[in-house]
């Protein structure tokens, strides 16, 4: 269809109709309920939270792609990760899900908020498109005044995100990078997109050694 004719949701759902962006186990709610009942950490862990039993059932609405990624995460002890998305120019960091379940937007920081903000800032300040003096708004949200980073839940709530799951289930620090205002760039534009993100990706990975 081309970048100008594709809707934001094109390619988001699997053949079975599952949105992979919201398909991981919601560990946030269990943690927050336990915190509200003073069960953390002695009766309920605040990290390496186990996957709920209902999520493991054969008839659970879990895509095979999601199950494969979870198996992969459990086999390898990743400590740093990034989701690469498109359609905006911003770096988001956990939590992605609002603590108040009925709110569409709410600042919901993790206990490691300072580390996440640093990781997001490292990427955003070294990304050529985000750091450009000619940077303009992609759509309506003004992320420039926040340094092109934002707490995911403070932008829009995403229950069952991979970022939150990675953090709570495996202790992996994961962010989401919205790479470009254009969600579906043309092939001819890909070299420029690579140049915009090459240094950011390298600097981001180097944070593992600096932690």
Q: How far is CA 38 from CA 28, 42, 142, in A?
A: 15, 9, 38
Cβ–Cβ under 8 Å, residues 24 and 95: no
Catalytic-residue membership of 35: no
The closest of 170, 171, 74, 78 to 116, measured between CA atoms, is: 171
Report the distance separating Cα 38 and Cα 187, nearest Å: 53
SS3 58: coil
Residue 85: beta bridge partners?
178
What Rg do the C-alpha atoms of the chain give, in angstroms?
18
Q: Which of the following is catalytic: 53, 174, 178, 195? A: 178
Q: How far is CA 55 from CA 19, 25, 41, in A?
A: 15, 7, 23
> 78: phi > 0 → left, psi -120 to 50 → alpha, else beta; which?
beta
Residues annotated as catalytic (active site), given as ranges: 178
């Amino acid at each position: 269809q081309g970048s100008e004719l594709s809707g934001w949701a094109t390619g988001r759902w699997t053949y079975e109709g599952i949105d992979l962006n919201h398909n991981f186990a919601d560990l946030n709610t269990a943690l927050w309920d336990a915190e509200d009942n003073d069960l953390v950490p002695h009766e309920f862990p605040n990290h390496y939270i186990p996957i709920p039993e209902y999520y493991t059932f054969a008839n659970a609405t879990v895509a095979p792609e999601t199950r494969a990624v979870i198996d992969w995460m459990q086999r390898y002890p990743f400590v740093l990760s990034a989701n690469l998305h498109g359609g905006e120019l911003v770096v988001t960091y956990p939590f992605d899900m609002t603590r108040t379940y009925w709110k569409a937007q709410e600042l919901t920081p993790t206990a490691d908020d300072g580390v996440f903000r640093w990781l997001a800032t490292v990427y955003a300040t070294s990304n050529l498109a985000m750091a450009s003096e000619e940077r303009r708004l992609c759509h309506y949200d003004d992320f420039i005044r926040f340094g092109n980073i934002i707490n995911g839940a403070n932008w829009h709530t995403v229950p069952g995100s991979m970022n939150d799951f990675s953090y709570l289930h495996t202790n992996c620090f994961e962010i989401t990078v919205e790479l470009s205002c254009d969600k579906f760039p043309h092939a001819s534009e890909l070299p420029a997109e690579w140049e915009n993100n090459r240094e950011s990706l390298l600097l981001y990975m180097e944070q593992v050694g600096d932690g």
